[in-house]
Chain A
């Protein structure tokens, strides 16, 4: 005892005024604590650098998650006010009104999505009119007059005019995307998928995004890019869904005061799903395909009631499109108009059992080509992300793609002498441009493929007589379209990949059909059209890796269930083959965008990763009564969307992090704002100010946030207290510190959580887990073994 005392005394850590015995005990226990703490830290470090992470240093720098994406807030903050609302006599009426309004909103979503689709289609129609009837007709007739005398070429000027017009339209699209709404670029399906997974992608469903997307896609399709309007239609539908259900517009700054009860992420998610379904339904005239698409590719959260409402939206939207387009085409009331993409009706529907292996072969080819497409496009997108990042650079790239797409068409027609007498193929529309360098009375089969609307080209590949396209034509067209689509997908214009992939697939599928016909000449009745259909399905399936919804969409777009079996076979095989190589295009783009998406299953080999390692320990917590000035400082210097409330926060004796007390609840940033805004303060014990009526619907809406300066808080206000307890969510989700990662993952995925608190055995707060903490653990497969890697978080 004495020797120990002496040692400690020499270390001079004893207060001379302190009672030596108790002092010594304190020092002793302190050193003990420190020792334990050191030990714990060592263990932690050992765990961090454990075997599973030795390989993770090899992670490429692009494999990161961006810190700028936050989760959506699907949880109801069940504070006292929320509970009290149920006791009000008017609550029964509110419930009834909510369920009525849900259906009403779904109806409106269908109508407006249909309107957007019809608008896009009509814009594309007029653009085509201008291009063909005014510019080209004039130039070509001028050319044929001039050429009688002169020797100088004249088609060259037609080409320049064509390229110029395309570039003009594409510039509009690119400017809208680059300067107005960057999120409107591309197909939009990855973004919607992320949104429905529970990630707040900034501005993804705003009105300005919708406008940019709708006008932009009309311009990029009208501008002759290898782009489809179907993917953007899905995004537009989702934006319509989100917009209408909120009854207000941030972009315009208008609040109609409608549908206040839907102003939270949970309700909005459902309407976005319905909007996406309505978008597909409008794009393909496929209501069932739309619902299945939302199920297979979009929604991460699903319930039966939602299915019914989605189906309702999809039905209304395809009805609206039919109605408007039939009116536009002068046959008002004729409702059998079929969406924006319509693949025509097959007349020869026979297929035999001996053709099944051929379809399977098509599936294999489709899987390989799709995987190749995804691989190359991913590499290209990485390159773009890294090197083509300036606004001017992106705009210039769009122009370049537009010019090359237009030029390549002319070059192909120039190079391939595939002139067919007019009348050989009645489905090729008779436009002047198709004549080009052919003799009088002939048209260029390649030109008809390049210069038509892509949908028309698909139709002519599906339904033309067997001899209307030569083998060379199909090979060259297929390769060129494949490459152009590859190059186009990912530039800063709204563009989908559905129709280009279908067109590419139809080209090689038809080629396949012609080869089959040559191999088995004795078997009559081979229609290359059905192989073109199978090829189209295979190529599209290989790129996007969908099965059920694509089957439904293609069957609905061809209005025929006879080819159901071959299409299903092809799509299944395609998916299996494609998944050997890589993931679908949309998933690849989500990874490239560094979005912390949570897949359907937790990463394998992660059972031994516990909450202790997943969580973050530096939690900004509040006590139940807080000084306003501290709240303001927290709000000002952090971006967290909510804060745990604990009974006390104490300095930890052995760690730099504080020692949090028991977890009592959870309060959202927006709720704190609302409280500050309404000055619900207590000064010296007395509280004043009533609660705002819409407090409990103020869940988490980042857009609603005003800046702190707008609140105009005085120093006096800041000295007040804020009693958080009545407003906090009293029972937030929490897990013990030894919970495994798969368990946490399933909680997050299943409940759509935004945060999860980690507590110790005494309910003391130990850390917080957010989406990024879970999503940063990814499974990788190397050398036939699964590993878990930890991704970087990029805080730029």
Chain B
């Protein structure tokens, strides 16, 4: 009875006080006790990465903002995978306990999601180069050249915008309209855009999602919010297109009309087999057996003359 009471009490505490981390105890029944602290540290680096990614999710800019968290997370992940000297009570290494021992491994699932669904899906390797030195728990982070270049151009444009907005700040209408701003910062924007477009359209060379979304937002802001977009003037090409259109329509019409007038004159020899008359001439001769014996003797003579004349021998001689 007493045991039940204590048991239920413990149970109630467990329910009422959900804890963020499972208790580290040295209880003799805690099979995986020695590994618990690693898991907890892992939880911290993972959650930092998660927090960073979520913070930078509108617009998604994980690569340029969370690379430190990602690095820490990856390094510690390596460590958890190589816990070969720490053992649980059943003499398994902690790496085995964390990754292989149970039906589910939340930490592994979360790691996979962070790596594949966030970092790799954002194509971060196109912007940030991480060189790993796992055994020494070190890594170097470097932005790729094109990202830096893009950043410079972006800052240039932003500076321009900042400079002029401060001038134009007093006139709200003008700022919303933005036509002044457009003409003032057109050059940096064009340079930025030209650089971006060059990389974007080159096959096999990519920007990460960060740069793409930054640029998309910049374009959106510039084009649609500030209405700075230059309309590509279709009318300029109207004349050329109309000329080509007319030429092609004319050619097509002429071609088919000419074919119709000229062609169709081939006569075909159509035969209906059921109304064929009996063969005459050459064919009629071929049908009957050629060689009567009399003719044979006649033909066998070598002095018959050139072979071509030999075919003219009449062969209707049977019976």
Which residues does A use to contact B, with CB under 8 Å?
Answer: 48, 53, 61, 64, 67, 133, 137, 151-156, 159-160, 163, 383, 386-390, 393, 396-397, 400, 403-404, 407, 410-411, 414, 421-423, 430-432, 436-442, 613, 616, 618-621, 623, 626-627, 629-630, 632-634, 636-638, 648-651, 655-658, 713-716, 718-719, 772-773, 776, 790, 792-796
A713 to B213 alpha-carbon distance, docked (Å): 86
Tell me which of A152, A388, A632, A633 contacts B263 (CB under 8 A): A388
State whether A715 touches B268 (Cβ < 8 A).
Answer: no
Offer 24 A-B interface pairs, CB within 8 angstroms, sorted by A. A61-B268, A151-B236, A153-B240, A154-B237, A155-B236, A155-B240, A156-B241, A159-B241, A387-B256, A388-B263, A389-B263, A404-B248, A407-B245, A414-B234, A438-B232, A440-B229, A613-B274, A627-B296, A627-B299, A630-B291, A715-B304, A793-B272, A795-B271, A796-B266
Tell me which of A411, A649, A658, A716 contacts B241 (CB under 8 A): A411
Q: How many A-B residue pairs have CB under 8 A?
A: 210
A792 to B274 alpha-carbon distance, docked (Å): 10
Among A64, A437, A623, A715, find the residue whose CB has the most chain B CB atoms closer than 10 A.
Answer: A715
Identify the stretch in B16-24, B45-53, B104-112, B277-285 within 8 Å (CB) of chain A at 4 or more residues. B277-285
State whether A719 touches B300 (Cβ < 8 A).
Answer: yes
State whether A629 touches B299 (Cβ < 8 A).
Answer: yes
State whether B288 touches A421 (Cβ < 8 A).
Answer: no
Contacts A403-B248, A441-B215, A792-B272 supplied; 4 other A-B pairs, CB < 8 Å = A407-B248, A414-B237, A440-B197, A651-B288
Min Cβ gap A295→B in Å is: 33
A346 to B218 alpha-carbon distance, docked (Å): 32
A48-B274, A430-B201 are contacts. A794–B268 as well, Cβ < 8 Å? Answer: yes
State whether B229 touches A439 (Cβ < 8 A).
Answer: yes
State whether B315 touches A440 (Cβ < 8 A).
Answer: no
State whether B263 touches A386 (Cβ < 8 A).
Answer: yes
Q: Which residues of A contact B296 (CB under 8 A)?
A: 627, 719
Min Cβ gap A593→B in Å is: 14
B30 interface residue (CB < 8 Å to A): no
A137 to B201 alpha-carbon distance, docked (Å): 9
State whether B259 touches A618 (Cβ < 8 A).
Answer: no
Q: Which of B239-270 contact A (CB under 8 A)?
A: 239-241, 244-245, 248, 251-252, 255-256, 259-260, 262-264, 266, 268-270
State whether B299 touches A388 (Cβ < 8 A).
Answer: no
Tell me which of A48, A156, A648 contacts B289 (CB under 8 A): A648
State whether A718 touches B310 (Cβ < 8 A).
Answer: yes
B12 interface residue (CB < 8 Å to A): no
Tell me which of B236, B244, B264, B269 contacts A795 (CB under 8 A): B269
Among B278, B300, B316, find the residue whose CB has the most chain A CB atoms closer than 10 A.
Answer: B300
A387-B260, A627-B291 are contacts. A400–B251 as well, Cβ < 8 Å? Answer: yes
Query: Chain A: interface secondary structure?
Result: mixed
Q: Which residues of B contact A629 (CB under 8 A)?
A: 290, 299, 310-311, 313
A421-B219, A627-B296, A630-B291 are contacts. A620–B244 as well, Cβ < 8 Å? Answer: no
Q: Which residues of A contact B244 (CB under 8 A)?
A: 156, 159-160, 163, 407
State whether A651 touches B316 (Cβ < 8 A).
Answer: yes
Q: Which residues of B contact A388 (CB under 8 A)?
A: 256, 259, 263
A619 to B252 alpha-carbon distance, docked (Å): 50
With both beta carbons as reference points, the residue of chain A lying nearest to B263 in the complex is identified as: A387
Min Cβ gap B152→A in Å is: 19
A432 to B272 alpha-carbon distance, docked (Å): 61
Tell me which of B216, B231, B256 contacts A421 (CB under 8 A): B216
User: Contact size class for B?
Assistant: 35 or more
State whether A650 touches B286 (Cβ < 8 A).
Answer: no
State whether A633 touches B290 (Cβ < 8 A).
Answer: yes
A152 to B233 alpha-carbon distance, docked (Å): 10
State whether B237 touches A658 (Cβ < 8 A).
Answer: no
Min Cβ gap A519→B in Å is: 31
Q: Which of B203-220 contact A (CB under 8 A)?
A: 203, 212-213, 215-216, 219-220
Q: Which residues of B contact A439 (CB under 8 A)?
A: 223, 229-232
Min Cβ gap A427→B in Å is: 15
A151-B236, A439-B223, A439-B231 are contacts. A414–B307 as well, Cβ < 8 Å? Answer: no
State whether A620 touches B286 (Cβ < 8 A).
Answer: yes
B273 interface residue (CB < 8 Å to A): yes
Q: Which residues of A contact B276 (CB under 8 A)?
A: 616, 618
B318 interface residue (CB < 8 Å to A): yes
With both beta carbons as reference points, the residue of chain B lying nearest to A650 in the complex is identified as: B318
With both beta carbons as reference points, the residue of chain B lying nearest to A683 in the complex is identified as: B300
A160-B244, A411-B241 are contacts. A387–B259 as well, Cβ < 8 Å? Answer: yes
A637 to B234 alpha-carbon distance, docked (Å): 69
State whether A430 touches B288 (Cβ < 8 A).
Answer: no
A623 to B290 alpha-carbon distance, docked (Å): 9
State whether B193 touches A414 (Cβ < 8 A).
Answer: no
Q: Which residues of A contact B236 (CB under 8 A)?
A: 151-155
Q: Which of B286-319 contact A (CB under 8 A)?
A: 286-291, 296, 299-300, 302, 304-307, 310-311, 313, 315-316, 318-319
Min Cβ gap B190→A in Å is: 8
With both beta carbons as reference points, the residue of chain A lying nearest to B229 in the complex is identified as: A439
With both beta carbons as reference points, the residue of chain A lying nearest to B279 in the complex is identified as: A618
Among A421, A619, A633, A793, find the residue whose CB has the most chain B CB atoms closer than 10 A.
Answer: A633
A795 to B268 alpha-carbon distance, docked (Å): 7
State whether B240 touches A159 (Cβ < 8 A).
Answer: yes
With both beta carbons as reference points, the residue of chain B lying nearest to A45 in the complex is identified as: B275
A657 to B315 alpha-carbon distance, docked (Å): 14
A411-B245, A439-B229 are contacts. A404–B274 as well, Cβ < 8 Å? Answer: no
Q: Which residues of A contact B248 (CB under 8 A)?
A: 400, 403-404, 407
With both beta carbons as reference points, the residue of chain A lying nearest to B215 in the complex is identified as: A441
A117 to B136 alpha-carbon distance, docked (Å): 51
Q: Which residues of B contact A154 (CB under 8 A)?
A: 236-237
With both beta carbons as reference points, the residue of chain A lying nearest to B200 in the complex is identified as: A430
With both beta carbons as reference points, the residue of chain B lying nearest to A388 in the complex is identified as: B259
A714 to B302 alpha-carbon distance, docked (Å): 10
B238 interface residue (CB < 8 Å to A): yes
With both beta carbons as reference points, the residue of chain A lying nearest to B319 in the complex is identified as: A651
Q: Which residues of B contact A396 (CB under 8 A)?
A: 255
A676 to B270 alpha-carbon distance, docked (Å): 35
State whether B287 touches A619 (Cβ < 8 A).
Answer: yes
A714 to B308 alpha-carbon distance, docked (Å): 10
Tell me which of B230, B273, B287, B311 contacts A440 (CB under 8 A): B230
State whether A637 touches B282 (Cβ < 8 A).
Answer: yes
Min Cβ gap B80→A in Å is: 31
State whether A393 touches B259 (Cβ < 8 A).
Answer: yes
A155 to B319 alpha-carbon distance, docked (Å): 87
Q: Which residues of A contact B306 (CB under 8 A)?
A: 715
A393 to B241 alpha-carbon distance, docked (Å): 26
State whether B287 touches A441 (Cβ < 8 A).
Answer: no
Min Cβ gap A47→B in Å is: 9
Q: Which residues of A contact B230 (CB under 8 A)?
A: 439-440
Q: Which residues of B contact A414 (CB under 8 A)?
A: 234, 237, 241
A422 to B269 alpha-carbon distance, docked (Å): 62
A64-B270, A616-B276, A795-B271 are contacts. A422–B287 as well, Cβ < 8 Å? Answer: no
Tell me which of A658, A714, A772, A794 contacts B307 (CB under 8 A): A714
State whether A715 touches B282 (Cβ < 8 A).
Answer: no
State whether A793 touches B271 (Cβ < 8 A).
Answer: yes
A796 to B215 alpha-carbon distance, docked (Å): 68
Min Cβ gap B204→A in Å is: 10
Q: Which residues of A contact B310 (CB under 8 A)?
A: 629, 715, 718
Tell me which of B197, B245, B263, B288 contacts A658 (CB under 8 A): B288
Q: Which residues of B contact A655 (CB under 8 A)?
A: 278
Q: Which residues of A contact B274 (CB under 8 A)?
A: 48, 53, 613, 790
Q: Which residues of B contact A613 (CB under 8 A)?
A: 274
A715 to B302 alpha-carbon distance, docked (Å): 7
Tell me which of B201, B270, B278 contacts A618 (CB under 8 A): B278
A133 to B229 alpha-carbon distance, docked (Å): 27
Q: Which residues of A contact B203 (CB under 8 A)?
A: 133
Q: Which of B180-212 contact A (CB under 8 A)?
A: 193, 197, 200-201, 203, 212
With both beta carbons as reference points, the residue of chain B lying nearest to A613 in the complex is identified as: B274
